[in-house]
Chain A
Amino acid sequence: MRQVFILVKKEIKELLTWSLLIPIIVMVFFFTFIGRLMKGEMKKASTPKPIIVVDYDKSGLSNYIITSLGQRNLIVKELNGNVEYLLAQAQKSNVNTILILPESLEQKFVKLERPEIQIYSLINSLSPFSDIGSSTLKSALSIVNESLGVRLIKSIKQDAPISAIKHPIKVTDFVSFKNQTIQADPIQIKNNIRVQNVFLPVILLMVIIYISQMIAAAMGQEKENKTLETLLTFPVSRFKILVGKMLGAASVAILLSIVFLVGMKFYMTPITQMGGAAATTLAKTTISIGPSQTVFYAVLTLALFLAIICAASLATLLSIFASDAKQAQVVITPINLLVIFPYFIVLLLDINSLSIFLKIILYIIPFTYPFIMSQALFFNQIPLIIGGMIYMVIFAIIMTAIAAKIFSSDQILTAKLRIRR
């Protein structure tokens, strides 16, 4: 038993190095930070959401509905005008939901004719928190509907249609997006966009982490085996050696991305078709309001390619400090964080709602752009798309230039990450 204890102690000492601990500690801090951000967003989300209500009926029923909404965490702003005017007002005052209560609402309700009320939702963000306004309104209306149903049941008529008693008011959803208004459920549309775009960030995340590890490990091994020392004395310029390393790894990463993309496409197709005809209609509706599929995939592929080049250049630069394959794990920790941070932010939060400081940090990180590219395409944010692409190119050039400078100096052999075991 004593010998087992001695062996276990030796194994732990061997495994539990700073090279292993630093990335773990950094990750703990990172997730704590993301958690705090989420908490802030949740707090913001729990505040009452403003909605615009147009009351054409001015009846006891319409008044009852408006009062009920006020009691359900919604701030009701009453306005009058046509739909275009209301949408413009909503956009201006940062309100995402409009409820229209039609004329003769009460009259039709009494006659059990299921009067129709309309909800217009403006899609300004794909963040999960952006759904809260319309979901709060929906649940408030559902409660109103049920209580009205109860009223009807109390005065039940034998020949009354069941649906008119169960849901006396018919709610119709409209989505307003980039000057187009179509009849659709905003949450379903957003979910459909998210499902379509979910695989690209995952691929990006996997590929960038993989390429960074690959480059750092390769450089660590080259140093460990002294093949780099030999290579640097060949009659080949240091810049060519560096570019060769970067492009070699980037080519493997691009190949991997293609394999992942094809695999994910096969994986996602049955999921998106799971809802049958309704899902197909929804998918068509989603596509009709989004960018053309060719543009969409061309932009995302280019963004993915540029992100790979950025990762390759940054990994090459950082891997100069890895003296062996084991240290490679430590040197690429910053890259992992630079990928995971924007990934989580874009997945969970709305960038526009973040503080200026966080926004600046996110826009400095080159890997933010591929994650926000699909959203930027849906919202037609051309300057952000082009600016992001240009920034990624500049970032890769700067990182390559710094790496080339270090590669041409003694530091390629003498630079080390100073971490004591």
Chain B
Amino acid sequence: MTKACIVQELSKSYGRLEALKNISFEINQGEIFGLIGPNGSGKTTTLRILATLLKPDKGIAKIFDIDVIKHPAEIRRLISYLPEEAGAYKNLSGIDYLKFIADLYSADAGERKQFLDRATTITDLGVRLKDKVKTFSKGMTRKLLLARALMTSPKLAILDEPTVGLDVLNSLEIRKIVKEFVHQGGTVLLSSHNMLEVEFLSDHVALIKEGAILEMGKVGELKEKYHAKNLEEIFFGAAQ
């Protein structure tokens, strides 16, 4: 099976704080991989390294066999990153924001139209897309940003806490969009501290705490191993 992402013994410190301690995991193409852990466990640092925003102190990170550290420009053509609680340019309308991103990604008018059509379908915002982003609710903004992240059909979508702060309905819609993206051939790496959400979405998960991976595998297998009913119980068992 083709590996979408390989992480080997990755470490990163901020001054005296060790954010990541030799973490390793692999993501198969076409799956949703969930990185679960409490706040400050190192999830965002891992995602930022894979998104070419941070450089690790040591270790290897590859996306579709391309070294993230050595070839960040090539990686940026393959991935799409959605930061936690990110916003969009408030004075642009929703559609102008999407056009701005499409223009950056492609010089071909036909391809740009495809991006926009796909984004319009994902957001499902209708005429509200013509309104300024500053008038959007949190759920609408998140859908706009998710549409932005997925409209270019990245080979790997890196989503940091995609549903954080959203109500149940909006969270459900976001999860549906992510699932749909994978059905169409995409691969997703998502982080969350909402274990039930990850359990619902992910094929494989890695449990991370204080910069170290505690456990990794398919949710079903982990449930059996820890005699647990859900991921929360697995995490509790692994953390012991």
A interface list, Cβ under 8 A from B: 225-227, 229-230, 232-237, 409-410, 413-414
Query: Does B87 lie within 8 Å of A413, measured CB to CB?
Result: no
Query: Does B87 lie within 8 Å of A227, measured CB to CB?
Result: yes
Q: How far is the CA of A410 from the CA of B55 in the complex (A)?
A: 7
Known: A413-B48, A414-B14. A233 touches B89 (CB 8 A): no
Q: List 14 A-B contacts (CB under 8 A).
A: A226-B87, A229-B81, A230-B81, A230-B82, A230-B83, A230-B86, A233-B76, A233-B79, A233-B80, A235-B73, A235-B104, A409-B55, A410-B54, A413-B53
**Chain B residue contacts of A230, Cβ below 8 A:** 81-83, 86, 145, 148
Chain B nearest CB, measured from A367 CB (Å):
30
**Chain B residue contacts of A413, Cβ below 8 A:** 48, 53-54
Query: Does B77 lie within 8 Å of A235, measured CB to CB?
Result: yes
Apart from A227-B89, A410-B55, what are 13 other A-B pairs with CB-CB below 8 Å?
A226-B83, A229-B86, A230-B81, A230-B83, A233-B51, A233-B81, A234-B76, A234-B101, A235-B76, A235-B104, A237-B73, A413-B48, A413-B54
Interface: B88 (CB within 8 A): yes
Query: Does B55 lie within 8 Å of A234, measured CB to CB?
Result: no
Q: How far is the CA of A410 from the CA of B49 in the complex (A)?
A: 10
Interface: B24 (CB within 8 A): no
**Chain B residue contacts of A227, Cβ below 8 A:** 86-89
Interface: B52 (CB within 8 A): yes
**Chain A residue contacts of B84, Cβ below 8 A:** 226
**Chain B residue contacts of A414, Cβ below 8 A:** 14, 54
Chain A nearest CB, measured from B23 CB (Å):
18
Q: What is the chain A residue whose CB lies nearest that of B54? A: A410
B interface list, Cβ under 8 A from A: 14, 48, 51-55, 73, 76-77, 79-90, 101, 104-105, 145, 148
Query: Does B89 lie within 8 Å of A232, measured CB to CB?
Result: no
Q: How far is the CA of A410 from the CA of B12 in the complex (A)?
A: 11
Known: A233-B53, A233-B81, A414-B14. A226 touches B86 (CB 8 A): yes
Of all A-B residue pairs in the complex, the 10 with the closest CB atoms, nearest first, are A225-B87, A226-B86, A233-B81, A235-B76, A226-B83, A229-B83, A235-B77, A233-B51, A410-B54, A234-B104
Q: How far is the CA of A410 from the CA of B148 in the complex (A)?
A: 24
Chain B nearest CB, measured from A54 CB (Å):
71
Query: Does B104 lie within 8 Å of A226, measured CB to CB?
Result: no
Q: How far is the CA of A233 from the CA of B52 in the complex (A)?
A: 7
Q: What is the chain B residue whose CB lies nearest that of A224? A: B87
Q: What is the chain A residue whose CB lies nearest that of B106? A: A235
Q: How far is the CA of A410 from the CA of B57 in the complex (A)?
A: 11
Q: How far is the CA of A245 from the CA of B84 in the complex (A)?
A: 24
**Chain A residue contacts of B77, Cβ below 8 A:** 235
Chain A nearest CB, measured from B56 CB (Å):
10
Scoring A225, A233, A410, A413 by chain B CB atoms within 10 A of each residue's CB, the highest score goes to: A233
Query: Does B73 lie within 8 Å of A226, measured CB to CB?
Result: no
**Chain A residue contacts of B83, Cβ below 8 A:** 226, 229-230
**Chain A residue contacts of B81, Cβ below 8 A:** 229-230, 233
**Chain A residue contacts of B76, Cβ below 8 A:** 233-235
Known: A225-B86, A226-B85. A236 touches B54 (CB 8 A): no
Q: How far is the CA of A30 from the CA of B143 in the complex (A)?
A: 50
**Chain B residue contacts of A237, Cβ below 8 A:** 73
Q: How far is the CA of A410 from the CA of B53 in the complex (A)?
A: 7
**Chain A residue contacts of B88, Cβ below 8 A:** 225, 227
**Chain B residue contacts of A234, Cβ below 8 A:** 76, 101, 104-105
Chain B nearest CB, measured from A188 CB (Å):
50
Q: How far is the CA of A235 from the CA of B74 in the complex (A)?
A: 8
Chain B nearest CB, measured from A277 CB (Å):
52
Chain B nearest CB, measured from A418 CB (Å):
11
**Chain B residue contacts of A235, Cβ below 8 A:** 73, 76-77, 104-105
**Chain A residue contacts of B51, Cβ below 8 A:** 233
Q: What is the chain A residue whose CB lies nearest that of B81? A: A233
Chain B nearest CB, measured from A412 CB (Å):
8
**Chain A residue contacts of B85, Cβ below 8 A:** 226
Q: How far is the CA of A237 from the CA of B74 in the complex (A)?
A: 11
Chain A nearest CB, measured from B100 CB (Å):
10
Q: How far is the CA of A225 from the CA of B88 in the complex (A)?
A: 7
Q: How far is the CA of A234 from the CA of B73 in the complex (A)?
A: 9
Query: Does B53 lie within 8 Å of A232, measured CB to CB?
Result: yes
**Chain A residue contacts of B145, Cβ below 8 A:** 230
Q: What is the chain B residue whose CB lies nearest that of A409? A: B55
Q: How far is the CA of A410 from the CA of B87 in the complex (A)?
A: 21
Q: What is the chain A residue whose CB lies nearest that of B158? A: A233
Query: Does B104 lie within 8 Å of A236, measured CB to CB?
Result: yes
Q: How far is the CA of A410 from the CA of B13 in the complex (A)?
A: 12
Chain B nearest CB, measured from A409 CB (Å):
8
**Chain B residue contacts of A236, Cβ below 8 A:** 104
Scoring B48, B53, B80, B105 by chain A CB atoms within 10 A of each residue's CB, the highest score goes to: B53
Query: Does B73 lie within 8 Å of A229, measured CB to CB?
Result: no
Chain B nearest CB, measured from A247 CB (Å):
16
Q: How far is the CA of A256 from the CA of B191 in the complex (A)?
A: 45
**Chain A residue contacts of B48, Cβ below 8 A:** 229, 413
